[in-house]
Amino acid sequence: MRVAISYDVTSNRTRTLIAHILEGYAQRVQKSVFEGELQPRQFQRLRARLAPVPLGPEDSIRYYRLCEVCSERVIIQGAGALVRAPRAVVLFASG
């Protein structure tokens, strides 16, 4: 599934922690926005890793699941490109 994750956090330390965790699952597309292709199990693991992160009363992490059609309709104005999952390549060797 294609996922966009954004966060708005006041603490520098917490922001750094969230970004570090997200870097293992998705690609940063803006300072506080990541996008990626995740399997359902990876998505669950990511949410579990972020669950104990201490959020202040005004802080939030948002997860947006984008269907294939929706992700193809993303419009980017300015710098950047749509993050696409790498295509799998299968090689066959003859013996």
Query: What confidence tier does 3 reach under pLDDT thresholds 50, 70, 90?
Result: very high
Q: Report if residue 89 sits inside a domain.
A: no
Owning domain of residue 56: 2-72
Residue 6 makes CB contacts below 8 A (sequence gap 6+) with: 32, 33, 34, 61, 62, 64
Residue 15 lies in a domain: yes
What pLDDT does residue 67 have? 78
**How many CB atoms are closer than 10 A to CB 3?**
19
- Domain count for the chain, please give it: 1
Average pLDDT over residues 66-78: 72
Interaxial angle between packed helices 12-23 and 40-50, expressed in degrees from 0 to 180 and rounded to the nearest 10: 160
What are 8-38's pLDDT values in tens digits?
999 999 999 999 999 999 999 999 999 999 9
Average pLDDT over residues 39-59: 96
In a domain, 51, yes or no: yes
Residue 28 falls inside a structural domain: yes
Q: Is residue 83 part of a domain?
A: no
On whether residue 78 sits in a domain, the answer given is: no
Kindly report the average pLDDT of the chain as a whole number.
84
Higher pLDDT, 86 or 6: 6
Beta carbons within 10 angstroms of residue 67's beta carbon: 10
CATH of the domain at 52: 3.30.70.240
